[in-house]
Amino acid sequence: MKKIILIISLITLSLTGNAQIIKNNLLDGYKTGDKLEKSAYIEPKAMIQENTWCAAYTKDPKAATTSSPIIGKELSYPEYQEGGPSIQFGFEDGIKGTRSSVYSMTSSGKTYRQGSYYLACLVNFSKLGTKKPSEFLALIANHVGGSARGNIYAHRNENGKLKFTVGLGKNRTEVPNEYDFKKTHLLVLKVDYTNNRVELFVNPSLKGEEAQSDAMAKGEEGALKAGLKAISIRNNHTYQGNIGNIRFAGRWTDITTK
């Protein structure tokens, strides 16, 4: 009897130990040239299409002139284990504007709103036409789009280098360092409900304990009251490059595991 209890306990421990990789393989089944979006949210209270990439709901009429991002080349980064293809930034020649695509995880605002969450990805910008921080990735509190609870921005500085910024609500903090274009970077966005803040890690060490973040933005009171429901990627005609290998987890160690 004691043996059975011990075996059950070990199995339970093993399962819970691996349960913190909440979402990964977000592009499973896609191949190069495929359209990312499987559907579109056309009203603000649309039923969730769980674990599916959709065009975000928007009132902006210009979004209708844009099209779904397409799947591009695979990215890689030393010791980062999340694989698969990427999402290609930019639109066809002549098309201008922005478009958000969302990966809906849950319709409940109570599922992901305690402790800390980590969103990791690989990004490789070959070109950015903007000199002001422009959002390209966010964790959001509405499964159809909008209500960001942690944003990552990018821009080109005076030296022609790549810069990243992290934001929570109206508060933004720029990462001090500058980075190279045409190089793959590992980004980790941490949403910390306990301390009402977000942090951004750029090319962190994946060995050992959680690294020191490169930038932190503190939220105003109640900024993280709502739970996380979806991942949002914002495409822009001024972007050229790829983003992929996205992983959503509840612990730092699950960013590094296979």
* Beta strand 39-40 pairing with 53-55: parallel
**pLDDT tens per residue, range 132-143:** 999 999 999 999
What CATH architecture does domain 21-42+62-256 belong to? Sandwich (2.60)
> Closest by alpha carbon to 125, among 99, 93, 97, 152?
152
DSSP calls for 145-168: S--EEEEEEEEE-TTS-EEEEEEE
pLDDT tens-place string over residues 183-210: 999 999 999 999 999 999 999 999 989 9
Rounded CA gap, 144 and 101, in Å? 9
Query: What pTM, to 2 d.p., does this model score?
Result: 0.91
Confidence of residue 14 (pLDDT cuts 50, 70, 90): very low
Structural domain boundaries of the chain? 21-42+62-256
pLDDT tens-digit readout, 67-93:
999 999 999 999 999 999 999 999 887
Torsion on CA atoms 169, 175, 180, 186, rounded to nearest 10: -70
